[in-house]
Amino acid sequence: MSAARERLLDVSALEAPEPLFAALDAVDALGRGEYLRLRHRREPHPLYAHLLERGCAWRVLDARLGAYEALIWRNDDACAAAACAAPEEDG
């Protein structure tokens, strides 16, 4: 299996509702073996229902106040899912 490719989308400077639209466009454009790294200034709760409708999963990497980053991939893409999996904890 080849390595998955990351697509970076930083919407942290956009005003609502543009981050939602940009994220959905990026998710819809994902090809096989690609995942999206989304950067935003806060957690985009309205995005989650749209991701579920599109058959996508996500993992939050950072959700501190003023910073949000998540990985988003299609559920049926094993290569992208493996690249986005949480690292196993040591010992």
Low-confidence ranges of the chain (pLDDT < 50): 90-91
What confidence score (pLDDT) does residue 65 get? 72
**Which candidate, 71, 7, 9, places its Cα nearest to that of 40?**
9
Give the residue extent of every domain in the chain. Answer: 5-84
pLDDT score of 88: 60
Helix (H) / strand (E) element for 28: namely helix 18-28
Token digits of residue 4: 């998955």
Does the N-terminal peptide bond of residue 17 adopt cis geometry, omega within 30 degrees of 0? yes
Looking at 3.30.110.40, 2.40.50.100, 3.40.50.150, 3.40.50.300, the CATH number of the domain 5-84 comes to: 3.30.110.40
CB of 80 closer than 8 Å to CB of 73: yes
pLDDT of residue 87: 79
- pTM, whole model, 2 decimals? 0.90
